[in-house]
Amino acid sequence: MGIFSVKSAWEGIRKAAPAVSWASLVWNKDLPSRLSTLAWCWAHGKLPADDKIQKKQIYLPSRSDLCGSSEESFNHLFLDCRYSSEMWDRAAVMLNVVWTNQPTVVDVIKWWKNKVRGWSLKRPWMIGLVVIIEAIWKERNGRCYEGKASCPSLVVNTAIKDVSFIYNGMKISPSSATDLVLAKRLLLSICPSSALSTLEVYWCKAPRPWVKLNVDGCSLGNPGRVGGGGIFGDHNGKMIFLFGFFMGIATNFQAEI
Q: How many residues bind Zn ion (CB under 5 A)?
A: 4
Q: Are strands 239-250 and 224-233 parallel, antiparallel or unpaired?
A: antiparallel
In the complex, the smallest distance separating the C-beta of residue 81 from Zn ion, rounded to whole angstroms, is 3
Residue 105 neighbours by CB distance under 10 Å: 19
Binding segment for Zn ion (CB under 5 A), chosen from 59-67, 101-109, 156-164, 240-248, is 59-67
Q: Which residues contact 83 (CB under 8 A, 6 or more apart)?
A: 64, 66, 67, 139, 152
Binding segment for Zn ion (CB under 5 A), chosen from 7-15, 73-81, 111-119, 194-202, is 73-81
Nearer to Zn ion, 67 or 144 (CB): 67
Contacts of Zn ion in 99-138 (CB under 5 A): none
H/E element holding 139? helix 122-141
For residue 66, state whether it binds Zn ion (rule: CB under 5 A): yes
Nearer to Zn ion, 25 or 66 (CB): 66
Nearer to Zn ion, 64 or 219 (CB): 64
Binding segment for Zn ion (CB under 5 A), chosen from 64-72, 87-95, 96-104, 125-133, is 64-72
Binding segment for Zn ion (CB under 5 A), chosen from 56-64, 146-154, 186-194, 219-227, is 56-64
Residue 157 neighbours by CB distance under 10 Å: 15
Exposed (0-12), middle (13-18) or buried (19+): which is 59, by Cβ within 10 Å? exposed
For residue 67, state whether it binds Zn ion (rule: CB under 5 A): yes
Nearer to Zn ion, 2 or 147 (CB): 147
- Contacting Zn ion (CB under 5 A), which of 64, 73, 198, 219? 64
In the complex, the smallest distance separating the C-beta of residue 76 from Zn ion, rounded to whole angstroms, is 6
Rounded CA-CA distance 193/181 in Å is 15
Residue 138 neighbours by CB distance under 10 Å: 16
- Contacting Zn ion (CB under 5 A), which of 31, 79, 81, 133? 81
Q: Are strands 212-221 and 224-233 parallel, antiparallel or unpaired?
A: antiparallel
Which is nearest to 175 in space by CA: 165, 190, 189?
190
For residue 198, state whether it binds Zn ion (rule: CB under 5 A): no
Summarize as ranges the residues that interact with Zn ion (CB under 5 A). 64, 66-67, 81
